[in-house]
């Protein structure tokens, strides 16, 4: 098997927020809301304030956020959902096929654009499934994550044979069509033609 390509598939999407991260951190460190409230500032804060924070019903002031980050031993960016890891010095995963930062940015942008399209199409009754080829014997899958619009996307990198990479469109009437994984424009054109055909049928 020669000439394999790396393909990327979103395997998990998790909604995050400052409140959720704060709640998880308190649980991890065995802190009740009452105990945590007493640790903030000179005189502590009310339990009601902490409850509002963990339920995302109130924003945390900048100075208070810095104190919370120090108490919980995490970066402020982690609490603000701008980073994946609690501490910036934790090493990031390395990806075998990413040669430079520009290439990674381009790949992630493609993933985000397609996932937005997939999400929209599912609302109007379409479904798109990925059909992956057999992985190379030495090509174990690797996962990495990125944050976009309050969500953590877990993406899987997998080595496959280009000829075996496909997407299957499942139309609202349950008919199907296979296209090459890389042929984004054929995908859009096929869906457009289907919608126009259905609209014309209704008009008749």
CATH of the domain at 29: 1.10.260.40
Same domain flag for 59 and 120: no
How many other C-beta atoms can be found within 10 angstroms of the C-beta atom of residue 83? 16
pLDDT of residue 173: 76
Residue 9 lies in a domain: yes
Same domain flag for 109 and 168: yes
Residue 186 has pLDDT above 70, yes or no: yes
Residue 121 lies in a domain: yes
User: Which tens digits make up the pLDDT trace of 134-168?
Assistant: 444 345 667 777 787 788 888 777 665 544 567 77
Same domain flag for 148 and 193: yes
Same domain flag for 36 and 49: yes
Same domain flag for 73 and 111: no
Q: Residue 183 — very low, low, confident or very high, per pLDDT cuts 50/70/90?
A: low
The domain total for the chain is 2
Give dist(CA 142, CA 150) in Å, integer: 23
Q: Residue 194 — very low, low, confident or very high, per pLDDT cuts 50/70/90?
A: confident
Residue 1 has pLDDT above 60, yes or no: no
Residue 71 lies in a domain: yes
Same domain flag for 159 and 125: yes
User: Which tens digits make up the pLDDT trace of 54-105?
Assistant: 999 999 999 999 999 999 999 998 999 988 888 764 334 434 444 445 555 5
pLDDT of residue 160: 58
Which range among 17-26, 32-41, 56-65, 173-182 shows the weakest confidence by mean pLDDT?
A: 173-182
Q: Which domain holds residue 167?
A: 5-15+95-203
Same domain flag for 124 and 63: no
Same domain flag for 58 and 157: no
Q: Report the mean per-residue pLDDT for the chain.
A: 75
Residue 153 lies in a domain: yes
Same domain flag for 63 and 112: no
Give dist(CA 186, CA 168) in Å, integer: 12
Q: Which residues contact 184 (CB under 8 A, 6 or more apart)?
A: 114
pLDDT of residue 44: 87
Residue 86 lies in a domain: no
pLDDT of residue 60: 94
Output 1 or 199, whichever has higher pLDDT: 199
Left if phi > 0, otherwise alpha if psi is -120 to 50, otherwise beta: which for 73? left
Same domain flag for 124 and 107: yes
For the whole prediction, is pTM greater than 0.85?
no
Residue 90 lies in a domain: no
Q: Which two tokens stand for residue 20?
A: 């959720």
Same domain flag for 49 and 142: no
Question: Final residue of a domain: which of 47, 79, 111?
Answer: 79
Output 57 or 112, whichever has higher pLDDT: 57
């Amino acid at each position: 098997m020669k000439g394999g390509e790396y393909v990327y598939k979103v395997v998990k999407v998790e909604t995050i927020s400052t409140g959720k991260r704060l709640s998880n951190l308190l649980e991890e460190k065995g802190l009740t809301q009452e105990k945590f409230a007493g640790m903030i500032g000179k005189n502590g804060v009310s339990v009601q304030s902490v409850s509002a924070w963990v339920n995302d019903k109130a924003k945390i002031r900048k100075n208070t956020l810095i104190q919370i980050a120090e108490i919980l031993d995490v970066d402020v960016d982690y609490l603000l959902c701008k980073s994946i890891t609690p501490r910036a010095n934790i090493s990031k995963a390395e990806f075998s096929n990413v040669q430079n930062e520009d290439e990674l940015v381009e790949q992630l942008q493609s993933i985000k654009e397609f996932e937005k399209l997939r999400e929209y199409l599912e609302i109007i009754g379409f479904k798109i499934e990925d059909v992956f080829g057999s992985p190379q014997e030495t090509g174990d899958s690797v996962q990495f994550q990125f944050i976009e619009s309050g969500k953590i996307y877990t993406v899987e990198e997998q080595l496959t044979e280009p000829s075996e990479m496909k997407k299957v469109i499942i139309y609202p009437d349950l008919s199907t069509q296979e296209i090459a994984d890389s042929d984004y424009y054929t995908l859009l054109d096929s869906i457009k033609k289907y919608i126009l055909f259905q609209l014309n049928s209704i008009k008749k």
